[in-house]
Amino acid sequence: MGGLSKKAYQLEKIRGLHELPYLTLDGGNLLFKQERLSPGLLRQAKIAAEGIVDSYNLMGYDAVAVGRYDLAAGLSFLQEQAAGSKFTWLSANLVNKSDEKPLFSPSVIQKAGNLSVGIIGLTEYDGSLRSLENDAAVLLPWQKVLPELVADLEAKCDLIILLSNNNPKQNEEIAESFSNIHIIIQSTPHSRNIAPQLKNNSLLAKTGKQGKYLGWMLVSWYKSKTWGRAGAVKDLALKKQELDGIIGRISRIERRENEEELAKNSSYQKLVSTRERLLSEIIFLENELYDLREEGQAPSTFENQFVALDINLPDQPDVEKIVSAVKQKVNQEGRNQAAVTSQTSSGSELMTEELVFAGWLVCAECHKAQTEFWQRTDHASAYQSLVGQDQQFNLDCLPCHVTAEYKEIKISDDETALLSLPTKLQQIGCEVCHGPGKNHAASLEASAISRKPDIAICLRCHTSERDEKFNFDNDIEKIACPAGRRSNE
């Protein structure tokens, strides 16, 4: 959630900078990071989702598509959130099973200046008639719901936007089928940004998932209702770019030479002649485009940017307060869960003999030099970094700050077990990289332990969303333990 306050700040900045009519939209998969939530994660995830809705309310969003991930806590929970949302949740194909009536608004018409903009939401359909919420709801394919809906909006709107969390191939098929859907904003479970690409008469665009970037588009929309970077529009842009370069070269020469030298400089005179020619051609093209616009034939244009929501960017104070309050509420919920666990088990911590991991203290008995080196790394204080932020009971954070998982081996399938780990596992210990050490400690066999972690182990936590600067080849050297024999040999 940390990027929400930075997104809010950037939205305010962009709106103030351009002072133009705007719409603020989201393609969906907003509330949760996965399609299914285990019972242990459900309570904390719901608290975070409620905070996201509150933040979007404050940021002034106009519409959000219902994504499959948004249904992770159940249809009823999402409907409760929609009832308290100031923006419209959209899905044209999530319907009641009995009568196929939409469970959310299929579309909404918003005003943006003088334009009427129709906005449609589409929830990902994977080809199966998958039932939801005790078989009360189903998802329909886009082929069944879009034709009539698009035709209706075309008669009422100047511009039609589709918010879709279908996969890119399906969105391209939609673009090929509907030349009157002008913009498709995608929300798929992939992290990278996709700059707008023209397919038929639709611009397909996507911003990286989970709030790492803010994407915005400046649109000049004309009566032609077609996109174009060809003809006069393209020529004008190229000639302006060429003119900028010529003017720069002329300025550099004028700074070096006096008027008498400039008069004799044939290269300079040629540049001046080129500048005058370009100015004349630009004026001609601008007049041509003006006439096309008046006649309703000028192609529409756009500019697109992605703003990286870097940790150093400013925060919007009101949204920052929401995020801070949610984090504390999530942590308190985890604390409560831990208290319940301690009351129902034999102690406040998991029984050591039942654990697959031995803990770093067992490793230290033989590997003193390596342990001393590890204690100086950030891995050793990973759990304490959560304590410092009062987030040590946040199940969204804990898995990457404790010793509880190695490849396919886990302490428990129940995430709430992480709330009651013994102290010796409350850090990124030796076994996160080298595997469970009980057998190795008992047998001293090298085959019972992995000497060097592979990249997949690191990428479990050092994902592009959490650590975009991570480089395995460089970073592995920073945490590589010093070579040496066991201290008891």
pLDDT: is 388 or 130 the higher one?
Answer: 388
Strands 131-132 and 88-90, how do they pair? unpaired
pLDDT: is 180 or 481 the higher one?
Answer: 180
Strands 301-308 and 213-220, how do they pair? antiparallel
Q: Which residues is 152 bridged to in the sheet?
A: none
Which residues, at least 6 apart from 320, have a Cβ–Cβ distance to it below 8 Å? 5
Q: Which of 36-44's residues contact partners 24+ apart within 8 Å by CB, and which partners?
A: 36/72, 37/72, 37/73, 38/413, 38/414, 38/415, 39/414, 40/337, 40/395, 40/414, 40/415, 40/416, 41/395, 41/396, 41/415, 42/73, 43/333, 43/337, 44/330, 44/333, 44/334, 44/394, 44/395, 44/396
Q: What count of other Cβ atoms lies within 10 Å of the Cβ of residue 39?
A: 9
Q: What count of other Cβ atoms lies within 10 Å of the Cβ of residue 328?
A: 15
pLDDT in tens, 183-194: 999 987 666 888
Please choose, from the candidates 403, 394, 329, the residue with its C-alpha nearest in 3D space to the C-alpha of residue 361.
403
End-to-end Cα separation, the chain, in angstroms: 50
Q: What is the percent of the chain where pLDDT is above 90?
A: 59
**Residue with tokens 């041509």, as numbered in its chain:** 288
Residue 363 CA to residue 426 CA, distance in Å, equals 15
What does DSSP assign to residue 423? G
Would you say 165 and 204 are in contact if contact means Cβ atoms under 8 Å apart? no
Q: What CATH number was assigned to the domain covering residues 345-479?
A: 1.10.1130.10
Q: What CATH number was assigned to the domain covering residues 4-226+300-318?
A: 3.60.21.10
What does DSSP assign to residue 482? P
Residue 192, CA distances (Å) to 7, 208, 377 in order: 17, 5, 30
Would you say 136 and 99 are in contact if contact means Cβ atoms under 8 Å apart? no
pLDDT in tens, 51-107: 999 999 999 999 999 999 999 999 999 999 999 999 999 999 999 988 999 999 999
pLDDT in tens, 213-238: 899 999 989 888 888 654 566 678 78
Number of residues in the chain: 489
pLDDT in tens, 298-311: 788 888 889 888 88
Q: Indicate the SS3 state at residue 88.
A: strand
Q: Which residues is 57 bridged to in the sheet?
A: none
Would you say 391 and 335 are in contact if contact means Cβ atoms under 8 Å apart? no
What pLDDT score does 487 carry?
46
pLDDT in tens, 335-390: 998 888 766 655 444 555 667 899 999 999 999 999 999 999 999 999 999 999 99
